[in-house]
């Protein structure tokens, strides 16, 4: 009976897509949205020589129902450490910790001042118009925390595109339902966008419990999540040379936390993440002069509740950031940027004696010289934290065009990462205490690579081979002191070295389209001078895979697009006793098609994840789903 039902469903899908092949038109979202304005200008303008991966608008559109955690795992070399679908997810760039990777939203750093991390499961891809991953340290330009890389995401509002609207609904395995929509009013001199996203996922997927006797098949219990998000953005021209803009995201995420695979019983623990991010800016640009003033904020509330233990933790943090940037060009070849950043951080928690604050003032000087075949830059940053000086940091980069299409890029940077509020201010409760005497972590980052890029009208080919080396000293680590009280200390030195290789082709030979994107990263991330820990010097750092491979193969015909992606993640160490998680490989399939009608366009979506039914763990003893399906429809109003 069940088999018959599956056959029927498959038949319906096949027929539906066959019809669409005949009817479809060759346009719309299979083309990339042109890059009209890069919000993260510092990244693209002054960070010369660094390896930057742009996740193009097609990919963002194809994977709009995912969280950023899921997308980054599939499409980048980052190690995404997630406690299962919807679970807490942090990123590791080039072997660094989560707090070594800055997360820049519309120019505003949204790392939590309390712990330095960002939960990527709470960030929906459909709110993001541009996403770029910058590999390597860049504290000079993006401040504390950017010791191994950064993720930049932004909304991109384009003038003069008329009025557009869309609404979508998706449903799939394990009780996963998503609804989203957007209204865009784009006039000649102003544009406004409103997006919403809701998700209800029971997340009660079936999995083989390899941590229990006889390895039974079970359904995950108490792991559901609900999400509601609203994104609103505006941009308006003021005269010929200036414009203003605003961005706001409101995100509410409720998650039931499951028990470990090895545990019996069920959990009643829940976690609520509430985020508010806002930004307002003024930009002025004439021929050789650009000025930007931006103010923004990030509010994060995390409520953890364990009814069984009658435990409730309520943590609030707020960052207010003001940025003034002045860029001027001299002699057509030299750009000088003067940037002043001011940041006020505030955090409140039951674990602190009282609300704590921190004020940071950072002047930055950037120089960029460009004369064919060379582009080079030098950036210097001095930071004052509550009136104290942080040693000067700098970065220098080179981009040398060797012959047409081939270039050599290299970057060196000195970086730092301030202790988090938890590190500094956790109140001594007899078991745990903060340490106000902590020093910032400091480090060096070097990289060099050979890049090839060729772009003609129909086909774009790109490839690169990059070698990198990062070192972090005074790494802050929580240990127990002689009184058995947990305390953070500047203990460890960490080093990561590795290779990143990328090859990609994107071809648009109407009516056919072909996509190939292959990425390989080798990361040897080790602890040095492990201090009081017994971790042996030279051991691979926890949850950093040595090898990661991402492969994407796409094929399009008309408005039909199919994509197969495969990732491979090698063995990872999950504790200092050298417990390891087995390597895994996952295959995912995406099928998308458009059907233009008179007043609306329809888009059909189908995906299958983990199609080879791989048993795997990302975090030790946290269940991950076997094969899952998702289908949906989007209506685009013209």
Partner 1 sequence: MILKKLKSQFGFPALFLILISCNDPAESPALYSNGVFISCEGTFNASNASVSFYSYATDSLYNNIFKTANSRSLGDVAQSITVYENMAFIVVNNSNKIEVVNASDFREIATITEVSSPRYLVISNDKAYVSCWGDHSIAIIDLKSYEVIKRIPAGIGPEKMIVYDNKLFVANTNAYDYTLDDSTLTIIDMNRDELLTNINIGAYNPVDLELDRLGNLWVLCRGRMNWDSFDQTPSYLVKVNPEDLKVLASYELFADAHPANLSINPDRDRLLYGIFFLRSGIFEVSVDDPGQGELFLDIFPYGFDIHQEKGELFVTHAAADFVSNGTLERYSPEGNLLESYTSGINGNGIAVTIAE
Query: How many residues would you count in the chain?
Result: 638
Q: Which of 8, 532, 613, 638 binds partner 1 (CB under 8 A)?
A: 532
Distance CA 577, CA 534 (A): 9
| Block residue for tokens 């450490």 | 81
C-alpha distances (whole Å) from 514 to each of 37, 552, 563, 580 are 27, 10, 10, 38
Q: Does residue 217 touch partner 1 according to CB under 8 A?
A: no
Q: Which two tokens stand for residue 562?
A: 């199919």
| Block residue for tokens 């674990």 | 351
Q: Does residue 387 touch partner 1 according to CB under 8 A?
A: no
| Sequence-ordered strand ranges (E) for 239-355 | 242-256, 270-286, 289-306, 311-330, 334-349
Q: Does residue 483 touch partner 1 according to CB under 8 A?
A: yes
Q: Determine the size of the site formed for partner 1 (CB under 8 A).
A: 33
Distance CA 277, CA 286 (A): 30
Strand partners, 408: 400, 450
Q: Does residue 576 touch partner 1 according to CB under 8 A?
A: yes
Q: How far is the CB of 268 from partner 1 (least distance, A)?
A: 13
Q: Which of 175, 307, 405, 579 binds partner 1 (CB under 8 A)?
A: 579
Phi/psi of residue 42, nearest 5 degrees:
-60, -40
In the complex with partner 1, the residue whose CB is nearer, 260 or 380, is 260
Q: Which stretch, 226-234, 460-468, 508-516, 570-578, contacts partner 1 (CB under 8 A)?
A: 570-578
Q: Which stretch, 10-18, 186-194, 533-541, 583-591, contacts partner 1 (CB under 8 A)?
A: 533-541
C-alpha distances (whole Å) from 152 to each of 81, 110, 113 are 19, 10, 18
In the complex with partner 1, the residue whose CB is nearer, 215 or 288, is 215
Q: How far is the CB of 188 from partner 1 (least distance, A)?
A: 57
Q: How far is the CB of 70 from partner 1 (least distance, A)?
A: 23
Peptide bond into 103 cis (omega under 30): no
Q: How many helices (H) and strands (E) does the chain have?
A: 6, 33
How are beta strands 101-105 and 149-154 bridged, if at all? parallel
Q: Does residue 534 touch partner 1 according to CB under 8 A?
A: yes
Q: How far is the CB of 279 from partner 1 (least distance, A)?
A: 36
Q: Which stretch, 385-393, 505-513, 531-539, 592-600, contacts partner 1 (CB under 8 A)?
A: 531-539
Q: Does residue 260 touch partner 1 according to CB under 8 A?
A: yes
Question: Which of 459, 451, 568, 571 has the alpha carbon at shortest distance from 500?
Answer: 451
In the complex with partner 1, the residue whose CB is nearer, 507 or 576, is 576
Question: CB–CB of 503/463 below 8 Å?
Answer: yes
Question: CB–CB of 222/257 below 8 Å?
Answer: yes
Q: Which of 34, 162, 265, 436 binds partner 1 (CB under 8 A)?
A: 265
Question: By rule CB under 8 A, what string of x and - marks binding of each residue 414-433 to partner 1?
Answer: ---------------xxx--
Q: Which of 160, 328, 454, 480 binds partner 1 (CB under 8 A)?
A: 480
Q: Which stretch, 286-294, 406-414, 527-535, 606-614, contacts partner 1 (CB under 8 A)?
A: 527-535
Q: How far is the CB of 432 from partner 1 (least distance, A)?
A: 11
Q: Which of 22, 36, 403, 577 binds partner 1 (CB under 8 A)?
A: 577
Q: Which of 264, 456, 457, 599 binds partner 1 (CB under 8 A)?
A: 264
Question: CB–CB of 591/601 below 8 Å?
Answer: no
In the complex with partner 1, the residue whose CB is nearer, 22 or 309, is 309
Q: Does residue 309 touch partner 1 according to CB under 8 A?
A: yes
Q: Which stretch, 89-97, 112-120, 367-375, 481-489, contacts partner 1 (CB under 8 A)?
A: 481-489
Distance CA 246, CA 282 (A): 9
Give the helix/strand (H/E) hosting 505. strand 486-509
Question: CB–CB of 471/495 below 8 Å?
Answer: yes
Q: How far is the CB of 521 from partner 1 (least distance, A)?
A: 21
Q: Does residue 348 touch partner 1 according to CB under 8 A?
A: no
Question: By rule CB under 8 A, what string of x and - marks binding of each residue 182-211 to partner 1?
Answer: ----------------------------xx
Q: Does residue 535 touch partner 1 according to CB under 8 A?
A: yes
Distance CA 559, CA 19 (A): 12
| Block residue for tokens 């020093």 | 439
Q: Which two tokens stand for residue 55?
A: 């996740």
C-alpha distances (whole Å) from 21 to each of 166, 312, 525, 554 are 22, 54, 48, 16
In the complex with partner 1, the residue whose CB is nearer, 175 or 579, is 579
Binding site for partner 1 (CB under 8 A): 210-213, 215, 260-265, 309, 429-431, 477-480, 482-484, 532-535, 574-577, 579, 620-621
């Amino acid at each position: 009976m069940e088999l018959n039902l599956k056959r029927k469903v498959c038949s319906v899908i096949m027929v539906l897509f066959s019809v669409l092949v005949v009817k479809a038109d060759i346009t719309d979202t299979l083309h990339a949205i042109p890059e009209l304005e890069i919000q993260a200008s510092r990244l693209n303008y002054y960070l010369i020589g660094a390896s930057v991966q742009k996740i193009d608008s097609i990919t963002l559109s194809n994977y709009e129902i995912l969280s950023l955690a899921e997308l980054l795992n599939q499409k980048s070399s980052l190690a995404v450490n997630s406690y299962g679908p919807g679970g807490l997810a942090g990123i590791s760039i080039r072997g660094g910790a989560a707090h070594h990777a800055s997360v820049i939203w519309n120019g505003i750093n949204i790392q939590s001042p309390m712990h330095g991390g960002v939960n990527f499961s709470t960030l929906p891809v459909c709110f993001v118009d541009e996403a770029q991953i910058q590999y390597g340290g860049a504290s000079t330009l993006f401040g504390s925390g950017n010791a191994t890389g950064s993720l930049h995401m932004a909304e991109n509002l384009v003038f003069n595109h008329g009025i557009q609207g869309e609404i979508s609904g998706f449903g799939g395995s394990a009780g996963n339902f998503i609804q989203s929509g957007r209204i865009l009013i784009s006039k000649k001199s102003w544009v406004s966008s409103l997006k919403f996203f809701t998700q209800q996922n029971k997340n009660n997927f079936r999995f083989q419990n390899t941590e229990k006797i006889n390895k039974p098949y079970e359904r995950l219990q108490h792991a559901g999540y609900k999400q509601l998000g609203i994104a609103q953005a505006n941009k308006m021209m003021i005269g010929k040379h200036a414009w203003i803009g605003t961005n706001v995201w409101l995100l509410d995420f409720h998650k039931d936390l499951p028990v470990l695979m090895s545990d019996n019983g069920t959990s009643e623990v829940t976690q609520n993440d509430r985020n508010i991010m806002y930004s307002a800016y003024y930009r002025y640009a004439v021929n050789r002069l650009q000025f930007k003033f931006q103010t923004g904020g990030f509010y994060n509330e995390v409520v953890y509740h364990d009814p069984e233990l009658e435990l409730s933790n309520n943590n609030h943090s707020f960052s207010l950031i003001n940025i003034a940037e002045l860029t001027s060009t001299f002699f057509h070849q030299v750009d000088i940027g003067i940037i002043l950043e001011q940041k006020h951080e505030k955090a409140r928690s039951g674990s602190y004696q009282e609300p704590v604050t921190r004020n940071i003032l950072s002047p930055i000087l950037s120089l960029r010289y460009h004369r064919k075949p060379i582009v080079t830059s030098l950036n210097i940053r001095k930071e004052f934290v509550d009136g104290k000086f942080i040693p000067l940091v700098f970065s220098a980069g080179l981009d040398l065009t060797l012959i047409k299409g081939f270039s050599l890029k290299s970057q060196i940077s000195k970086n730092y990462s301030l202790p988090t509020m938890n590190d500094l201010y956790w109140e001594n409760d007899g078991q745990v205490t903060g340490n106000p005497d902590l020093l910032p972590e400091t480090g060096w980052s070097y990289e060099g690579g050979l890049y090839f890029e060729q772009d003609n009208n129909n086909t774009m080919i790109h490839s690169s081979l990059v070698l990198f080396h990062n070192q972090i000293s005074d790494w802050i680590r929580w240990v127990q002191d002689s009184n058995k009280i947990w305390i953070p200390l500047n203990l460890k030195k960490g080093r990561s070295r590795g290779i990143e290789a990328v090859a990609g082709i994107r071809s648009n030979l109407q009516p056919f389209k072909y996509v190939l994107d292959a990425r390989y990263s080798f990361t040897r991330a080790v602890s040095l001078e492990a201090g009081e820990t017994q971790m042996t010097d030279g051991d691979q750092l926890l949850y950093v895979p040595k090898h990661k491979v991402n492969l994407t193969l796409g094929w399009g015909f008309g408005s039909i697009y199919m994509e197969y992606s495969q990732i491979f993640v090698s063995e990872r160490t999950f504790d200092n006793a050298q417990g390891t998680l087995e390597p895994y490989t996952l295959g995912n399939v995406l099928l998308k098609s458009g059907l233009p009608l008179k007043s609306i366009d329809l888009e059909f979506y189908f995906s299958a994840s983990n199609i080879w039914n791989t048993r795997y763990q990302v975090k030790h003893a946290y269940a991950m789903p076997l094969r899952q399906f998702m289908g949906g429809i989007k209506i685009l109003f013209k």
